[in-house]
Structures are given as structure tokens and as C-alpha cells.
């Protein structure tokens, strides 16, 4: 069931993930090496932004649903990797443009 805390974005992939039985298994279909940088480093900025959003939602669901700690840790690692890339490639780029 879709959570009340879910973001109000119209992303069908996030809605499908939220409705799935297991968010980790859902994400592994699209990102087989979820907790390594391999799956994330070649994403376009727009896809990186979507992945950032998906992983934030997935980790909230995993914590709330008391997933296996190993699975939650893999999701947390993925979120850390994507967060670092997201802030480096998207957020900092935005601020650099504004200061030029």
C-alpha cells in the first residue's frame, strides 16, 4: 500500500515500487549491483535525480517495514552513493552557475 509519507510526484516507477511486496527486489531488477557505484556512475543527471528520489523512498519503506538489516544496509549504501553523486553533479553545479 502506498505510504502517506510518499512524495507527491507522479513518477509511475516510484508508485510501482511502493506497491511492490519488496522495494529491494523491485530496485535490483533495474540496478543489479545496487550497493556499488557501478550502476550509478553512468546515469544521466535526470536519471540520477530520479534514483535519488527512489532510494530515499525505498529506505523509508524498508525502515518502516522492518526489513532484514542486511537489505536495509544495502539500500542505505546505495542512498549514500547516489546522494554523493547527486550533490556533486547536480546541486553543486547549480550553485556554481549562480556564482559565476
Domain ranges of the chain: 12-27+37-95
For the segment 53-65, the average pLDDT, to the nearest whole number, is 92
pLDDT of the residue at 46: 84
On average, the pLDDT of the chain sits at 84
Give 42's pLDDT tier (boundaries 50, 70, 90): confident
Instruction: With beta carbons less than 8 A apart as the criterion, state whether 83 and 52 touch.
Output: yes
Provide the H-helix boundaries in the chain. 12-19, 23-30, 45-64, 69-86, 92-99
Give 6's pLDDT tier (boundaries 50, 70, 90): very low
**Backbone CA torsion sign across 62, 64, 67, 68:** positive
For the segment 21-38, the average pLDDT, to the nearest whole number, is 90
Question: Is pLDDT above 80 for 93?
Answer: no
Amino acid at each position: 500500500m502506498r505510504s502517506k509519507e510518499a512524495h507527491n510526484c507522479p513518477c509511475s516507477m516510484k508508485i510501482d515500487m511502493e506497491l511492490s511486496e519488496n522495494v529491494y527486489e523491485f530496485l535490483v531488477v533495474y540496478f543489479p549491483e545496487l550497493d556499488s557505484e557501478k550502476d550509478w556512475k553512468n546515469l544521466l543527471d535526470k536519471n540520477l535525480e530520479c534514483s535519488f528520489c527512489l532510494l530515499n523512498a525505498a529506505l523509508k519503506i524498508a525502515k518502516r517495514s522492518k526489513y532484514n538489516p542486511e537489505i536495509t544496509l544495502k539500500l542505505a549504501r546505495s542512498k549514500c552513493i547516489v546522494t554523493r553523486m547527486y550533490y556533486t553533479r547536480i546541486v553543486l553545479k547549480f550553485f556554481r552557475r549562480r556564482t559565476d
